[in-house]
Structures are given as C-alpha cells and as structure tokens.
Amino acid sequence: MFFLDIAGNRMLIAVIASVHVFINHALAVGAYPLVTLMEWRAWRSGDAGADRLAYRVTFVLFIVTTSLGALTGVGIWFSTSLIAPFGIGSLLRVFFWAWFIEWLVFISEVILILAYFLTWKRWREGSLKKLHIGLGAALSVFSWFTMAIIVAVLGFMMDPGGWLADPSLFSALLNPVYLPQLAFRTTYALGVAGLCVWFMLFFFTEKGSRLRHNAVRMTSGWMLVWVVPFIAACLWYWKVVPDTMAANIDVALLTQRFQNWHETLATIMAATIAVLVLVALAGRLRPALMRGFILLVPFILGLWLLGHFERVREFIRKPHVIAGYMYSNGIKVADLPVFQRDGVLPYAAYVRHHGVTPANTVEAGRDVFLVACSRCHTTTGINSVTSKFANLYGEKPFNEPALTAFIETMHTGRTYMPPFPGSEAEVQALVAYVKRLQTESHIILDAATMWGESKTDRSGVVASPAAVTTE
C-alpha cells in the first residue's frame, strides 16, 4: 500500500478521477454524438464551413481524449492499486469478465477515434461521407458503452443489492443504483458536452458570422433537449440512494465544518442549473447576443457541478468502499470481529511490527495508522489526524483516555467513519503515535516560527513520518 502524506491518498485519486470523468463524460460520451450531428447537418445542407467547424472541434476532442484521457484512465488503475489494493482487487474479482469486455470496447473506441479523425478530410464526398458519419455514430455508441460498464461497478460500490447473498456477476451488474446512475450520467454528459463545444465555437468562428450564429443556435438547442431528462434522472437517482448514504449528504456537500450550510449549497446548485438553462435559451433565441466571456461562466459552472457530484458520490459511501462488504480502510465487514480480537498487525503482510510491545509502541502505532487510517487521513497534511483531534480537544497536549475513548466509539457519532479494526493494544499504540505526531509538529512549528522571526519567513512547514510503505 502506498502512503502519500501531506496531500493525502484520497486527494491523489480524486484529482486523477475528476479529470478523467470530465474528459470521459463531457468530451468522449457527450461531445462525439454532438460532433457527429454537426457533421451530418453540414452534409445535408452542403455547408462546407460547418463541416470544417465540426472537424476543428473533433481535433480538440481527438487530442485530449487520446492523451490526457488515456493517461488519467491508466492513472486511476495505478493509483487505486497502490492505495486500496484490497478494494480494487475485490472489484476485479467480481467484475472480471465485465472489465474484460470493457477493455475490448475501449480498444475499439480508440481505433474508431483514430479512424474518425484521420479519415475526415479524405472521406468528403458521396458514400465515403456517409461512411464517415457512420463511424462517428459507431464511436458515439462505443464511448457510451464503456461508461455503461463502469457505471455498473460504481453503482455496485454504493449498493451491491442481492450480491451479498448471491455473489455472482449477474447479481452485481443488476445492483439497484445502476440504471438510475447510468441515466443521470448519460443525460449529464450529453448536456455538458454542449457547454464544451459551445465554448470552443468562439475560438473557431468569427464574431457576427452566420456560421457562429447557426452553431450557437444548434448547440443551445442540443443542451435544452437534455434538461428535462437530466432532471428526471436526478430524481430517479436520488430515490434509490440508500438511506444510510443519504444521511451523509450534509457532510458530503460541504465537509463537516460547513455541513449546516448544505441547504444553501443545494440552492446554489439549483440556481446554477437554472442559469445554464437561461443561457442556453438565450443562445437558442438570440445567438447574436452571445459573447465568449458569457459562455466561460456556464462552462466553469458545468465542470464544477460534475466535480462536486463525484466528491459527494465518493463520500456518501462511507464508512464503506463497497457497501455492506468492505470498509473504506480495506477491512472486510465479516473480518472485523477477528481483527478487533487479535489485532490487524498479525495479519498485515508488509509492516515493520506484527505486534505491540512496550519497546515498539510508537512504531507499531505508525503501522496501525498506515493499515487502518491512511486511505483517508494524513499525519499532518490534508485531513490529518492531528488537525482532527486538535479540532476536538484544542492545541494542548492530547489526553490519552479521551483519544482512546473516541477512537473506540468514533463510528457511533460519525457514521462515515468505520469502526476501529484493531485490538485494545493497537488502540493504545495508535494513541501513542498520534501524541508523538502532535509533539513533533509543535517542535517543528516552533522552530519554523523562530526562524521566521529572524528571516521573515513564516511558512510553518511541518514534518511527517516516512511517506511510503506497503501492505
């Protein structure tokens, strides 16, 4: 298992996954059908300028999806395998054949992307043009199909449905969240693709030109078409979210510190969608009034909504990574009683200490932290354990009985936290390690402050333990 302190393991996955989802949804799944439609309309009307515009948009899609899209797709596999090997391993075992098919579809999708872009200028006339438009339609279908398979996995992680009683691929694929989430992601991808293409139009067309006006009117109509299906999919999706996950929405939207503002944020998100609809209406009815800077705001808002949705979807699953089966720290629900009796260290493959002794308490506590806590927490960085306990108990030296009592019962008051999986001795070792982290942080902070007073540098750099381990 890999441990990225300061930034945090979950932040690493979140950044890679968010970029990939934006590229996959907005550019691959959503934009290729729109570009194919633009090409078809240009062919039917004989508008060479509109055909060139569709080609230039495709050039952007081609570059981004085959470079950054591919890199982030591989990055998700690489990072999750390092950080959460038990979680990704379990998913691979359940969805092996589904993922095998998805890889075949993905390879076909890449071939179609290459063919669609590279043959555009040569297949301009007659039956060749029809064939090229058919390539675009096939690419659109294959792009959607890759998402359809992956969404089955994402839905399974939220609610395995009957899989816990019948652990088969068929029951896993038919999880209760699958179809509602697929409808949500499909309609969102198609709608937000209009925002991306819309924004590109103002770089590829001249101000006041007929080509710009027609293109803006078309993409605006495209976005409006998907508004009602998107809202219906949102309601359907919300209806099937398990109650235990819906209870985490307050914290998921704005973190624990600002959870009381969740209604305000929900209002802002609804207003954001309303703004997007109004801008699309303006683009449809009065395209001459639209300016590039006006479209920059809806573009950013659309990306923000997608990114925030991914954050909420990831958070509300807690305390599980696979609901009802595995906690977010990689401990299976069924194995928890054994670990709480014997401890996690005796069963951990790659730790320095396989038990707690008076001589290794702090070092063993570090191993416990890496096994049980580091998927979500850092030591002194983002979402650090020291900052969390400082919020609870202040900056004074932590009280050992208070820390012990909190760790043993934290899952009862904070439902998004898994139960502590270790033995009583490991709880004490973890407490000793946290107290050592607090002491070291204070020493280095004090040193940094003294140095800053003499060098006018108050950066407040803090120390952290060694950053890499395996489990």
What is the structure's pLDDT at 424? Answer: 94
Residue 265 burial (C-beta neighbours within 10 Å; 0-12, 13-18, 19+): middle
Backbone angles phi, psi at 40, to 5 degrees: -60, -45
Contact 378, 6 (CB under 8 A): yes
**Among candidate residues 119, 122, 129, the one with its CA nearest the CA of residue 43:** 129
Structure tokens at 207: 């101000």
Contact 303, 193 (CB under 8 A): no
Extract the residue ranges of the chain whose pLDDT is less than 50.
Answer: 443-471
**Is 378 strand, coil or helix?**
strand
What is the structure's pLDDT at 294? Answer: 65
Q: Which residues contact 321 (CB under 8 A, 6 or more apart)?
A: 84, 87, 157, 327, 328, 330
Residues linked to residue 332 through DSSP beta bridges, in sequence order:
326
User: Per residue, what are the HEC states of 262-321?
Assistant: HHHHHHHHHHHHHHHHHHHHHHHHCHHHCCHHHHHHHHHHHHHHHHHHHHHHHHHCCCEE
> Around 308, how many Cα atoms within 13 Å sit in the side-chain half-sphere?
18
Q: Specify the pTM.
A: 0.84
Measure the CA–CA gap between 160 and 178, rounded to whole angstroms: 10
What is the structure's pLDDT at 448? Answer: 38
For residue range 383-427, list pLDDT tens digits in order. 888 888 888 888 888 889 999 999 999 998 888 899 999 999 999
Contact 279, 209 (CB under 8 A): no
What is the structure's pLDDT at 391? Answer: 86
Residue 88 neighbours by CB distance under 10 Å: 18
Q: Provide the residue ranges of all domains of the chain, joining segments of one domain with +.
A: 9-327, 334-455
Structure tokens at 180: 């509602």
For residue range 164-203, list pLDDT tens digits in order. 999 999 999 999 999 999 999 999 999 989 888 988 888 8
What is the structure's pLDDT at 262? Answer: 62
Backbone angles phi, psi at 353, to 5 degrees: -130, 135
Measure the CA–CA gap between 37 and 45, rounded to whole angstroms: 12
What is the structure's pLDDT at 292? Answer: 64
> Around 71, how many Cα atoms within 13 Å sit in the side-chain half-sphere?
7
Measure the CA–CA gap between 21 and 19, rounded to whole angstroms: 6
For residue range 135-149, list pLDDT tens digits in order. 999 999 999 999 999
**Among candidate residues 53, 102, 32, the one with its CA nearest the CA of residue 73:** 102
